[in-house]
Amino acid sequence: MPRYRAPLRDIRFLIHQVFDFAGHYARHGHEEVTADLIDPVLEEAARFTENELDPTRTEGDETGTHLESGQVVTPPGYKKAWKAFVEGQWNGISCSPEYGGQGLPHSLGMAFHEMAESANMPWCPLFTLSQGAIRAIEAHASDELKQAYLPKMVAGEWTGTMALTEAHCGSDLGLLRTRAEPRDDGSYSVTGNKIFITWAGQDLTDNIIHLVLAKLPDAPAGPKGISLFLVPDRLLDDSGQPGERNNVAVEALEEKMGLKASPTTVFRLDGARGWLVGEPHRGLAAMFTMMNAARLDVSFEALGIGQLSHQGAVEYARERLQMRAPAGPREPDQAADPIIVHPDVRRMLLTQKSLVEGCRALGLYAATQLDIGLGSPDEQARGRANDLMALLTPICKGFFTERGSEITDLGIQVFGGHGYIREWGMEQLYRDVRITRIYEGTNGIQAIDLIKRKTLASERKLLDLFLEEVRGFCDANADAGEVSTELVARTRKVADEWSELTDRLMAAAGDDINAPMSAAFEYLEYSGYAALAWCWARMAVTAEQALKEDNADRAFLEGKLQTARFYFDRILPRTRALAESMVADTQSLMTMDDEQFFMP
């Protein structure tokens, strides 16, 4: 059973040396968040996730959740973990102090988020969905709603959900049927059925705040007719405390492949009282405040669970004895050598390591842009950061989650037959991570968003903004060091090819819109690998410079350089196949008749 240990050396390396979070905070409105504050936060996050969350992961998977008279009953250890979470004020780590939050930068909150996801991913939507709901309410709701609900939500006394999906509509929300009728008191009567609602009906808090998409009687057709409503499980009494139950009922729990301890509910709203959030018919824009946050959260889910799979695989490979090393016995006093000596096992472990650490670097960079976009006093800086986040969000969500499945699959493979057996804990990680490629917008939707909205619609301006960052780094580090100089040159080469392929797809779109759409997934994958090349080159430059210092952590830094070389030699070449398929003719994809896909 893999036991989680927070990768603090790598997180600190990125936060202090590669990205200089303290300097970043000083430039963008968080001067009080110095290195002396960052390190204790990271250490306490590690303590909480290792000691409070990690022990609940296996128990939760074995026990699961179940429904009793409309109440979701959670695994035994979950209440204790939630209580410790609330007492540690983790729910409000990046929330506004106006509502009781700590007001720390979002990038520091994401470092905690990764640790929590590694320790117990199924538990984590309790707070990630709540934090997304807090953002949406804070950005779009009336002052009255903010004052009534945000303090309790920030404190973790109440949680939040996101209620979008209906049985007949998933990604195409314009088809939803839930209706909201105005009431005389200014509230609305909301009626409809929602599915795939995570952590509704739970028994951990005394109120749950649902953000529900519905249509008003005068709503225009399609997505432009959607409004957003705040619908509490329990209506507030005159003192602002939860009182009588609202007409919201959990009817069933889905039986799922993974996330056994994270309830996925079907619930009914039968004239439930709700309050409009934002403007009528503008609910989708308000919900995307929550959705975009959720997509970055899901990126860190996949990263976190990949980290745990890698840890488990490395520990097993160091201990499991099988056969001898190809070059001769490594442990002659033992009956056999540990499997970590075998080249193919090392390939799997280094693939995991290079992808986990590369995704961590890109994820934390994206989180710094979130800091700037939400809080910088510089309007121009905010605009630039928001544009970068618009590009990076689908890349991170799509690429990290695809790699999460790959990493956890490799974790099973390292264990061999034991990886397929429940008692070792590796198969749970694969089952749990698989959903990340589907929810909060499938990766096909992320690919379409990246190529259509973020690239074609912007006339590649968002990509050029990111490539400006990449090329600026390459210019500044063209002669950085013995190892990193070569990696910087290879980063420039892949950035130039990324740009050229984008031009070819944009030109092809003028003749055949299927051309860029058929290449959308390959384009997302290519973008992820290219962005990670930049991250690995940055880490290599930093590591090579740090090795010159007298007190250098040599083993860690040399390992970082070796992993960088592995990424460029063994992982980045995947872009060659992607580039070829991306510009292939669309005929083989689009000409087959529908009935020819299967002919019994």
| Cα angle 343, 345, 350; round to 5 | 90
Tell whether 319 and 413 lie within a shared domain: yes
pLDDT confidence bin for 526, thresholds 50/70/90: very high
Range 445-468 average pLDDT:
97
The length of the chain, given as a count of residues: 600
Residue % of the chain over a pLDDT of 90: 90
**Is the same domain home to 375 and 466?**
no
Answer yes or no: is 428 within a domain: yes
Distance, in Å, from the CA atom of 278 to the CA atom of 288, rounded to the nearest integer, reads: 12
Confidence check: pLDDT of 170 > 80:
no
Three-state SS letters, 452-479: HHHHHCCCCHHHHHHHHHHHHHHHHCCC
Residues 428 and 492 in one domain: no
Residues 6+ apart with CB under 8 A from 472: none
Residues 427 and 566 in one domain: no
| Statement to judge: residues 354 and 426 lie in one domain | yes
Q: Which amino acid would we find at residue 577?
A: A
Residues 486 and 511 in one domain: yes
Number of Cβ within 10 Å of residue 476's Cβ equals: 11
Q: Which of 419, 447, 475 is the last residue of a domain?
A: 447
Gap between the Cα atoms of 119 and 425, Å rounded: 12
In a domain, 349, yes or no: yes
Contact assessment for residue 474 and residue 484, using Cβ atoms and an 8 Å cutoff: no
Instruction: Please calculate the CA angle 522-406-474 and round it to the nearest 5 degrees.
Output: 55
At residue 291, does pLDDT exceed 80?
Answer: no
| Mean pLDDT of all residues in 567-579 | 98
The structure's pTM equals: 0.97
Please give the residue range of the domain that contains residue 399: 286-447
Q: Are residues 425 and 293 in the same domain?
A: yes
Number of Cβ within a 10 Å radius of residue 144: 10
In order of 97, 516, 581, 584, the CA distances from 505 in angstroms are 46, 5, 12, 10
pLDDT of residue 145: 97
Q: Are residues 423 and 477 in the same domain?
A: no
Do the domain assignments include residue 362? yes
Is 600 a domain residue?
Answer: no
Query: Is the pLDDT assigned to residue 172 strictly greater than 80?
Result: no
Q: Which of 399, 419, 447 is the last residue of a domain?
A: 447
- Rg of the chain (C-alpha set): 24
Confirm if 482 and 417 have CB atoms less than 8 A apart.
no
| Predicted local distance difference test score (pLDDT) of residue 290 | 78
> What residues are paired with 252 via a beta bridge?
266
pLDDT of residue 148: 98
**pLDDT, tens only, 362-400:** 999 999 999 999 888 889 999 999 999 999 999 999 999
pLDDT tens, position by position, 82-100: 999 999 999 999 999 999 9
In a domain? residue 60: no
Of the ranges 1-10, 325-334, 350-359, 414-423, which one carries the lowest mean pLDDT score? 325-334
Number of folded domains in the chain? Answer: 2
Three-state SS across 546-581?
HCCCCCCCHHHHHHHHHHHHHHHHHHCCHHHHHHHH
Residue 294 has a pLDDT of 84
Q: What is the CATH number of the domain that holds 354?
A: 1.20.140.10
Cα–Cα distance for residue pair 43/9, rounded to 1 Å:
11
Q: What is the mean pLDDT of residues 139-144?
A: 96
User: What integer is the mean pLDDT of 169-179?
Assistant: 81
| Distance in Å from the first CA to the final CA of the chain | 45
| Per-residue model confidence (pLDDT) at position 286 | 83
Q: Is residue 25 part of a domain?
A: no
Query: Is 377 in a helix, a strand, or coil?
Result: coil
Task: Pick the last residue of a domain from 447, 474, 504.
Answer: 447
Q: What's the pLDDT score for residue 521?
A: 98
The tens digit of pLDDT for each residue in 504-521 reads 999 999 888 899 999 999
Q: Do 295 and 412 fall within a single domain?
A: yes
Which residues fall within 8 angstroms of residue 241, CB to CB, at 6 or more apart?
none
List the catalytic residues. Answer: 440
The 10 Å Cβ neighbour count of residue 69 is 6
Are both 299 and 440 inside the same structural domain?
yes
Higher per-residue confidence, 475 vs 287:
475
Please indicate, yes or no, if residue 331 is contained in any of the structural domains: yes
Task: Work out the average pLDDT over 10-38.
Answer: 96
- The least confident of 104-113, 511-520, 530-539, 566-575 is 511-520
Is a pLDDT exceeding 90 seen at residue 445? yes
State the virtual CA torsion across 25, 27, 31, 33 in degrees, nearest 10.
10
Q: What is the pLDDT of residues 458-504, one digit of tens each?
A: 999 999 999 999 999 999 999 988 899 999 999 999 999 999 999 99
Whether residue 440 sits in one domain with residue 367: yes
- Do 437 and 466 lie in one domain? The reply is no
Is 42 a domain residue? no
Query: Is residue 478 packed enough to be buried (19+ CB in 10 Å), middle (13-18) or exposed (0-12)?
Result: exposed
